Structure 1
Amino acid sequence: MNLFERLLHRRLCNEQSTEGGQAATASTGATDTSQGTGETQQQTQVQDNAQGTESEKGSETQKTEAELAAEKEASDKAEKDKKPEGAPEKYEFQAGEGVELDNEALKDFEPVARDLNLTNEQAQKLVDAYPKILAGVQQRQAEAWQAQTEQWAADVKADKEIGGDKLTANLSSAQRALDQFGTPELKEYLNGTGLGNHPELVKAFIKIGKAMSEDGMVDGSNQGQRSAAEVLYGK
């Protein structure tokens, strides 16, 4: 091999060595790049798995809360079902402090409570309220009656037939008749109830008193005078 051939051979060897190194370097770079890409994919997959796990945990938490709410609702319904509703087989009422139960009124009330399907507790509330309601009704009735008797007295005073200037004389005649024929119990009743103020009753006693003054009364010896029955009933 001459000198020219040696130089050519060396140059060819150098070129082959350079191309081989570049190829190796490219291969190594590709390998590194592939490894980096793989690591990146692994990291991304780990993050996705973590996010998926947290999402699943959140879903499980929500599901648990929903289940708890459903369980609570079922428990409340079961508790409500345990409580007796509607009318019991027998009502048992308790008297309040200082109050005596009206047994006769309860006999009338129980069928109504049963017809309304009231529980014992509901019916007891009405029984407790009854004395207060009754007291209020009685108070209003008493006030209304008082106003009525006062109006009667005012009507007597203003009456054209027996009132005005003639009132004093007419009331004297009525009092005389009441003293003659009325018992103490009748007088007490008329005064206590206020019926003694009723215009028609006052007029009736006035007429009796005047009849007594004009005709006198039968005393057993005077047969020509009118009797009490004749004065009262026109016999």
Structure 2
Amino acid sequence: MNLFERLLHRRLCNEQPADGGAAPAPSAPAAPAAEVPEPAGEPAKQEGDKPQPGAEGDKPQEDKPADGDKPAEKPGDKEQKQEGAPEKYEFQAGEGVELDTEALKDFEPVARDLNLTNEQAQKLVDAYPKILAGVQQRQAEAWQAQTEQWAADVKADKEIGGDKLTANLSAAQRALEQFGDPELKEYLDSTGLGNHPALVKAFIKVGKAMSEDKVVTGGHESGGSDLISAFYPKK
């Protein structure tokens, strides 16, 4: 007999008359059974709330991309996919620029050691002419400043400069005309070495020796026409 039947039987017994009279007619509606409260803290579990095997809430599942969707890239994937040095570098010359093949022979091993892509290495190749032009310009300016300083040193020299400068340069000019040629004159002018104090002093000595000493050549006495005798006059 379950709980509901027990309660109903007890209620029927309580309603039986004390004198043994007849019980209420069966057709009379019975009073509803009192609800038995459930213990606190244990909510009723309905059958539909039971976890089903394989349900989503049973075990957390990893997010899987839907069909046709690309998986999300991880932070390290981008570095792994980064392109490095190619098997062979192929460089293109810019407009109006000729590639320096000898310089490229030295550059390619460095680019490969740095794992540069062809595109990255090409940017450096394109920048090379501009960098080289800047270096050459600064070198030319520095050399120009040096030759101008040499000329200033000659003018201020106590031995050959000052009031004696004009006469000394005339003597140097005679030596250059006598022993030099047009190619030497052009070289001294274009490079600025004609202003070097040591070279100027040497030509001055030669020019003075030419006017002071006599050299006998083949039985003929003439002015100094030998560079060695001019530098090392007879005593």
TM-score tier by shorter-chain length is 0.5 to 0.7
Structure 1 residues 230 and 191, CA gap change in structure 2 (3 angstroms): same
| Whole-Å separation in 1 of the counterparts to 2:197 and 2:20 | 151
| Whole-Å separation in 2 of the counterparts to 1:194 and 1:78 | 58
Q: 2:188 aligns with which of 187, 190, 195?
A: 190
Cα shift at 1:111: 3.0
| Whole-Å separation in 1 of the counterparts to 2:173 and 2:222 | 25
User: What corresponds to 1:77 in structure 2?
Assistant: 77
Equivalent residues in 2 for 1:73-222 (5 A)? 73=73, 77=77, 81=81, 84-88=83-87, 90-215=88-213, 222=220
Structure 1 residues 78 and 206, CA gap change in structure 2 (3 angstroms): closer
- Counterpart residue identity of residue 84, structure 2: E
Structure 1 residues 121 and 177, CA gap change in structure 2 (3 angstroms): same
| Whole-Å separation in 2 of the counterparts to 1:171 and 1:181 | 15
Structure 1 residues 87 and 218, CA gap change in structure 2 (3 angstroms): farther
Structure 1 residues 163 and 71, CA gap change in structure 2 (3 angstroms): same
How large is the Cα RMSD of the aligned pairs?
A: 4.4
Structure 1 residues 45 and 169, CA gap change in structure 2 (3 angstroms): farther
> Any gaps of 5 or more consecutive residues in structure 1?
1-12, 50-54
Cα shift at 1:135: 1.0
> Any gaps of 5 or more consecutive residues in structure 2?
1-16, 51-55
Give the TM-score normalised by the residue count of structure 1. Answer: 0.66
Q: Secondary structure at the match of 2:31?
A: helix
Which is richer in helix?
A: 1
Give the TM-score normalised by the residue count of structure 2. Answer: 0.66
Aligned positions, number: 206
CA contact (8 A) 2:214 2:221 kept: no
Percent pairwise identity? 65
| Whole-Å separation in 2 of the counterparts to 1:227 and 1:158 | 31
CA contact (8 A) 2:147 2:192 kept: yes
CA contact (8 A) 2:92 2:122 kept: yes
Structure 1 residues 168 and 45, CA gap change in structure 2 (3 angstroms): farther
Structure 1 residues 227 and 78, CA gap change in structure 2 (3 angstroms): closer
CA contact (8 A) 2:206 2:227 kept: no
Cα shift at 1:216: 5.7
CA contact (8 A) 2:153 2:197 kept: yes
Cα shift at 1:192: 1.0
Structure 1 residues 149 and 104, CA gap change in structure 2 (3 angstroms): same
Structure 1 residues 111 and 78, CA gap change in structure 2 (3 angstroms): closer
Q: 1:28 aligns with which of 20, 31, 36?
A: 31
Structure 1 residues 224 and 143, CA gap change in structure 2 (3 angstroms): closer
Q: 1:150-202: per-residue Cα shift (whole Å, max 9, x none)?
A: 11111111111111111111111112221222212211111111111100001
